[in-house]
Amino acid sequence: MNKVRQREPNVIPGFGITLGFTTFFLCAIVLIPLAALVLKAGGMDFSRFIDVITSPRAVASYRLSFGAAMLSAAVNMVFGFALAWTLVRYDFPGRNFVDAIIDMPFALPTAVSGIALTAVFAGNGWIGQYLEPMGIKVAYTWIGITVALTLIGMPFVVRTVQPAIAEVQRDLEDAAETLGAGRFYVFRRIIIPTVLPALLTGFTLAFARAVGEYGSVVFIAGNMPMKTEITPLLIFIKLEEFDYVGAAALGCVMLAISFVMLLAINLLQLWGRKRMMVSR
């Protein structure tokens, strides 16, 4: 068998079997179940489908899920950039430790971060007790939801932006400063253009993760219909009421959002790579 294969460009065995197994497993675990969701929702009357996904309670939940996810991703863009910059450019005691714990939200179960954040930001919590007298109620409001989503999305932004900051050419910065450019000018004209694709990719990744997040949010959210009820929770409630069709319809909306986000992430990464090649 080897003798025949050697004349072909690729002598490595196992193409058929690995491709077959990968495709089979992908279909069994991911694609067929997702198709079941789409078909279940597709099986319902179209006007009913529209009614379910545009009901006031659903729309309120989209507004909250989107708004909080967007806000948390924006917060992460600012603080994530500061963190990434600090980790790449500055040396300070404990830098390696800080760098290591950035990934904590990846490894920490969402239910744990949910109850932990609630404990800290509740009215009698370590941080909540100082915010509450100032009139800022975090736990059981949209602010708490945003805080939880910010924690979940943080590593996405930092880990995407870090390598991009390392790519910024220091000599270009130095040259600009030597020529009399101010720090803000250097930041705006040299650093931001280099880091922008990574920053937007990080934003999108954090947003995509945050919009569907459930575990860390349900504990801190308060879960009041129309006010602090996120879309994933609404799906959960519909399931508990045995409204499978309604749950499937809302699930389809979430799935459509996931696809759009995936597309956006791929396009952003493509754009980033192109820019990188042009600048070299």
Site for another protein in 95-134 (CB under 8 A): 98, 100-117, 119-120, 125-127
Site for another protein contains 232 (CB under 8 A)? yes
For the CB of residue 278, give the shortest distance to another protein in the complex, in Å: 21
Site for another protein contains 157 (CB under 8 A)? no
Site for another protein contains 276 (CB under 8 A)? no
Binding segment (CB under 8 A) for another protein, from list 51-59, 194-202, 221-229, 253-261 = 253-261
Site for another protein in 29-48 (CB under 8 A): 29-34, 36-37, 40
Site for another protein in 197-216 (CB under 8 A): 208-209, 211-215
Pick between residue 29 and residue 224 the one whose CB is nearest to another protein. Answer: 29
For the CB of residue 148, give the shortest distance to another protein in the complex, in Å: 9
Site for another protein contains 180 (CB under 8 A)? yes
Site for another protein contains 223 (CB under 8 A)? no
Pick between residue 103 and residue 273 the one whose CB is nearest to another protein. Answer: 103
Site for another protein contains 247 (CB under 8 A)? yes
Do 200 and 268 contact (CB within 8 A), yes or no?
yes
Site for another protein in 64-83 (CB under 8 A): 79, 82-83
Pick between residue 111 and residue 226 the one whose CB is nearest to another protein. Answer: 111
Pick between residue 194 and residue 205 the one whose CB is nearest to another protein. Answer: 205
DSSP for the chain, please give it.
-HHHHHTSS-----HHHHHHHHHHHHIIIIIHHHHHHHHHHHTS-HHHHHHHHTSHHHHHHHHHHHHHHHHHHHHHHHHHHHHHHHHHH---TTHHHHHHHTTHHHHS-HHHHHHHHHHHHSTTSTTHHHHGGGT---TTSHHHHHHHHHHHHHHHHHHHHHHHHHHS-HHHHHHHHHTT--HHHHIIIIIHHHHHHHHHHHHHHHHHHHHH--HHHHHHH---TTTS--HHHHHHHHHHTT-HHHHHHHHHHHHHHHHHHHHHHHHHHHHHHHHHHHH-
